[in-house]
Chains A and B, each alone.
Chain A
Amino acid sequence: EVQVLESGGGLVQPGGSLRLSCAASGFTFNNYAMTWVRQAPGKGLEWVSLISRSGDYPIYADSVKGRFTISRDNSKNTLFLQMNSLRAEDTAVYYCVKGRDYNGMGDAFDIWGQGTMVTVSS
């Protein structure tokens, strides 16, 4: 079964850091771009960051650029999101998502995890 499973969410104070992980299984991880999408409570979807299949091309939303770092370990089929200088507005469920297109840059997102909640509050 193709699936992704996030972990690492929790409560953190403003200005703090958190590292999310996403374990992938059921597909050839290093053939697909991977992305993080977040959803604030009661709100819509916001794309956060994407990384190419090789890991050489990370791309970020302006709202997180310079604070978040996406990375991947293809030997362990794992995706990461290092989040620094966290703000209250970063509070959201963070979804790990697989890019649909083989060897592409995520023209659509086909496999979504259950999400991990990040709460930034003092």
Chain B
Amino acid sequence: IVMTQTPLSSPVTLGQPASISCRSSQSLVHSDGNTYLSWLHQRPGQPPRLLIYKISNRFSGVPDRFSGSGAGTDFTLKISRVEAEDVGVYYCMQGTQFPRTFGQGTKLEIK
């Protein structure tokens, strides 16, 4: 399954919203009825960290300014008000089929 993110780069103003899209080449609905789409964030020089799993579930400790939505093949990560610590690269990942696959990454930077 190929995961395609847009945009690849997103300059944003502090305090303003940001949105990243992720599209899969086929439906991510698993035979168990769940959709295994997750979002990760990687700050420069750091390992990735999980933000969102199963489309819209925030992982432990993730601020509520992060939200995920979507269904089937189209998914979106939204940040309601961007903070300085949100810079870095965001990846979507599908956990429905093997091999697990990631999007190319979207670099979020402050204007």
Q: Which residue of chain B has its CB nearest to the CB of A59?
A: B98
Cα A112 to Cα B47 in complex, Å, equals 7
User: Is B63 part of the binding interface, using a Cβ–Cβ cutoff of 8 Å?
Assistant: no
Q: Is the interface of B mostly helix, strand, loop or mixed?
A: loop
Q: Which of B50, B59, B89, B100 has the most CB of A within 10 A?
A: B100
Q: How far is the CB of A94 from chain B (nearest CB, A)?
A: 11
Query: Contact between B50 and A110 (Cβ–Cβ < 8 Å)?
Result: yes
**Number of B residues, CB within 8 Å of A:** 25
Task: Kindly name the residue among A59, A108, A114 whose own CB sees the greatest number of chain B CB atoms within 10 A.
Answer: A108
Residues from chain B with Cβ under 8 Å of A100 in the complex: 38, 50, 53, 59
Expressed in whole angstroms, the Cα–Cα distance for A46 and B103 within the complex equals: 10
* A binding-site residues for B, Cβ under 8 Å: 35, 44-47, 50, 59, 61-62, 95, 100, 106-110, 112-115
Query: What residues make up the interface of B, taking CB atoms closer than 8 Å to A?
Result: 30, 34, 36, 38, 40, 47-50, 53-54, 59, 89, 91, 93, 95-96, 98-105
